[in-house]
Amino acid sequence: MNRKIFYIAIIALFFDQITKILISIFFHVGEKFTLLKNFFSLYFVENYGAAWSIFSGKVDFLILASIIALIIIYRYMYNFQTNKRNNIAFGFIIGGILGNLIDRIFLGYVRDFLAFKIINYNYPVFNLADSFIVIGIFLLIIAVTKGEDKNGRDKSN
């Protein structure tokens, strides 16, 4: 693995875990603190599933799925050009997956705490690891669109 990707993954993992530790120290499960009325709150929940609580209670499956995802991503990342955006993308995805994997292995659930309400819709509560994964995937979509994967054509010519 490229050192830059490794360092970015470690930094993402650190920020994910430190925020989860802080929320666990200062909040009780189910406690909510509104920062921006009708928009953003800190709301500490234990998520026993994945996004939108799918596969709830299937911790072993989610651990295995995370490990398989890490293996696939590790192998797949060598199909991309090495540049700053791609390094950040893979670092964020790997760091995010590791952050939630650590929670599942050691706690049996993921600590979520970022709650948004958007146009009367309470978006599912999430954490920094989830954010890193989504941002990383978005950056990879840009890379594929620009032809920065080995299977894509270089669109700069």
149 catalytically annotated: no
Catalytic residue (one of 16, 60, 103, 130) = 130
Task: Tell me, letter by letter, the H, E, C secondary structure of 71-129.
Answer: HHHHHHHHHECCCHHHHHHHHHHHHHHHHHHHHHHHHCCEEEEEEEEECCEECCCECHH
Residue indicated by tokens 């920065």: 148
Catalytic residue among 60, 112, 149, 154: 112
Judge whether 130 counts as a catalytic residue: yes
Secondary element (H or E) of residue 41: strand 40-47
Q: In whole angstroms, what is the distance from residue 4 CA to residue 143 CA?
A: 17
Active site residues: 112, 130
